[in-house]
C-alpha cells in the first residue's frame, strides 16, 4: 500500500479533491407491464426480471 513520505499541504489536498466529478447514470428505456420507464442501464435487467419495481 502506498504511504506518503511527506505531509501534503491543505491547498494541494483540496485542489486534488476538487478534480473529482460525479457522473450521471446512463439511462435506458425498459418496458414493464406495457409501460416504458427510463432506468439506469446497470439496473435494466433487474427491472425486466421483476427484481426491482419501477417508481410510478
Q: Give tens-digit pLDDT for 7-45.
A: 999 999 999 989 988 989 999 999 988 999 999 999 999
Q: pTM for this one?
A: 0.56
∠ at Cα 46 (39, 27), nearest 5°? 20
pLDDT score of 46 more than 90: yes
CA–CA dist 34, 14 (Å, integer): 49
CA–CA dist 17, 8 (Å, integer): 12
Q: Which pLDDT score, from 0 to 100, does residue 56 have?
A: 60
Amino acid at each position: 500500500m502506498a504511504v506518503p513520505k511527506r505531509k501534503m499541504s491543505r491547498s494541494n489536498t483540496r485542489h486534488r479533491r476538487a478534480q473529482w466529478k460525479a457522473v450521471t447514470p446512463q439511462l435506458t428505456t425498459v418496458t414493464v407491464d406495457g409501460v416504458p420507464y427510463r432506468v439506469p442501464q446497470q439496473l435494466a435487467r433487474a427491472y425486466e426480471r421483476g427484481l426491482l419495481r419501477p417508481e410510478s
